[in-house]
Amino acid sequence: MYYKDVSETFLPELPQELWRAGKLELAHGVQQFLQLMRVASAALGQFLAEIESRGSKDLYGYGSTAAWFADVAGLSRGEAQSVVKRAIALNPTRNLDGTEVPAFAPTTGAAAAEGMIGDERIDQILEILGRLTSDTSAEDRATAEKILGNLGRGAGPRQLVNAETSLLGWLDPDGNEPKDPEPKQPRREITLERRKDGFWKLNGLLDDETGARTAAALEAYAKPRPVDEFGQADLRMKCERLGDAWAELLDLAIACPDQPGTSGYRTLVHVTIGLEELKTGIGKACLDFVGTMTAREARMAACDCLMLPVVMNAAGEPLDVGRLRRFVTPGQRRALNIRDRGCAFPGCHRKPKNCHAHHIEHWADGGPTDLRNLVLLCGFHHRLIHHGDWHVRMAADGLPEFIPPQYLDPLQRIRRNTLNRA
């Protein structure tokens, strides 16, 4: 065998019971095994450099040394590539014609072979050498590597960083030509996944500017609702108010005429349960093929949207796909904005842009889509009308009026929004 058995030559004696060892013995053992690991790593690099010189394809049939080593060592291709790259940088190799290629960092390689420097500092030295300018001469580069290799024997990461600064000052005392710094590309990340319980989980990472803009927009729409004329305050937690504000911002974005995919329509509801279920409010619907919703919620969504009714048979086969129908035209929406001037619910201050067009008598029940059957409601009061005990109707003067539930007003006196008429 042309190389020594490392375990017999370098392996220090391991105490039978470490718990009996003193603090000096423990420290000495750590230092011995650390040096052994470093020497073994350097010796491994010499073998890998020789395989690289001969060609892994000729030797083992692999396209690269890293691919072969990844299989032998049970590493990923990236992990193996780092080890091989380090080995080639620290050891001389040969070209195909047999001429020797000097090591990129011979002084560092010598320190590694003695077990005086580990992989972390080796990689740091190689990165520093890689950052030297292309104008640096071979002699100056060799001098810099010698300084760093010798310094790395006992230096820490901070000392090498300081050495890099000194070396750059020595190699290029005038510094680089001053220029305006290139602006960094903002980092923004959003992940959205649907949970098994039907809720969606939203996570994100925003740069400082985008985060500030997002916070300002959410805060503007997340303010607590003022106490209404019945003395009811907004009891939502802040996280709930922010969630509702997010929904309102989505409505605003989708309602934009230039919005791709929606063309200003608030939403597109594909009713995959048949119109009868939608009329009764019993059953399930599918909102734009992303998840289920109750038929009752589908009735609310269908007030101000595009509706595509799909009649299904018992086996789930589409029997008839209705024609796409727009229920509230842009002209009707403008007329509603002028008439109601915002959410028509008593005491609400929401502006028209934050409102939906609600059918007083739902279209599925035969209600027409005209001004006398439409009223502007914000998202909160729209849901309250659909799922609560409030009722809305059109008065003789052509303006909407609301009837509160008996638990709020036993006499159920008619209410109107007087804020929008002030």
Residues 299, 127: Cα–Cα separation, whole Å: 63
User: In the prediction, which pLDDT does 331 show?
Assistant: 80
Q: Is 187 left (phi over 0), alpha (psi -120 to 50) or beta?
A: beta
Contact 346, 416 (CB under 8 A): yes
Write down the H helix ranges in 172-237: 208-221
Dihedral angle, C-alpha 230, 235, 241, 244, nearest 10 °: -60
User: In the prediction, which pLDDT does 50 show?
Assistant: 92
User: In the prediction, which pLDDT does 222 show?
Assistant: 80
Rounded to the nearest 5 percent, the helix, strand and coil shares of the chain are: 45, 15, 40
Tens-level pLDDT at each residue, the chain (422 residues): 344 454 454 556 665 678 888 888 888 888 888 889 999 999 999 999 999 998 888 888 888 999 999 999 999 989 999 999 999 999 999 887 888 889 999 999 999 999 899 888 899 888 888 888 777 788 888 888 888 888 888 878 888 888 877 877 777 655 555 555 556 667 788 888 888 887 888 888 888 878 888 888 888 888 887 766 656 677 888 888 888 888 888 777 766 655 554 444 454 555 555 556 655 555 555 555 445 566 566 666 656 555 555 545 555 555 444 444 446 777 888 888 889 988 999 888 888 888 888 888 877 677 787 888 899 998 888 888 887 788 999 999 989 999 988 888 888 899 998 887 66
Q: Look-up: residue for tokens 């739902």? A: 362
User: In the prediction, which pLDDT does 42 show?
Assistant: 92
Q: Look-up: residue for tokens 């019993």? A: 282
User: In the prediction, which pLDDT does 360 show?
Assistant: 87
Domain coordinates in residue numbering, the chain: 6-171, 187-254, 267-326, 330-403
User: In the prediction, which pLDDT does 118 show?
Assistant: 87
- The model's pTM: 0.41
Q: In the chain, count of helices (H) and strands (E)?
A: 15, 14
Residues 313, 166: Cα–Cα separation, whole Å: 79
- Two tokens at 235? 């009891």
Chain CA centroid to CA 11, Å: 48
Q: Return the closest-CA partner of residue 266 out of 277, 279, 250, 280.
A: 250
- What 359-364 contacts at long range (C-beta under 8 Å, 24+ apart), as own/partner pairs, is 359/303, 359/327, 360/392, 360/393, 360/394, 360/400, 362/299, 362/302, 362/303, 363/302, 363/307, 363/327, 364/275, 364/278, 364/279, 364/299, 364/302
